[in-house]
Amino acid sequence: MSRDLRKYARQTNFRLALGGILVLFVVGGGMIWIVYGREAAILGFICLAAGLAPIALVWLALGGLEKLVRFLDKDS
């Protein structure tokens, strides 16, 4: 069994971020649904997704750059 602490830290951070987003959407959307109704919950979901989109795009761009650097570094 390997003890790759960087991989463990990366995996833990990913799981924490995913859990936080899930809690935001489920609990937040559920509370909006309970208080204001289905239409408001749908709009809240759309607004949460639109607010999350720039963060997701930056995360994807940085992940792509990391893969590109690893690929280019492997060749040299």
pLDDT of residue 1: 58
Q: What percent of the chain has pLDDT over 90?
A: 87
Residue type, 9: A
Of 16-20, 64-68, 71-75, the range with the lowest mean pLDDT is 71-75
9-64 per-position pLDDT tens digit? 989 999 999 999 999 999 999 999 999 999 999 999 999 999 999 999 999 999 99
17-26 per-position pLDDT tens digit? 999 999 999 9
pLDDT of residue 74: 84
Residues 6+ apart with CB under 8 A from 25: 45, 48
Q: DSSP secondary structure string, 8-67?
A: HHHHHHHHHHHHHHHHIIIIIHHHHHHHH-HHHHHHHHHHHHHHHHHHHHHHHHHHHHHH
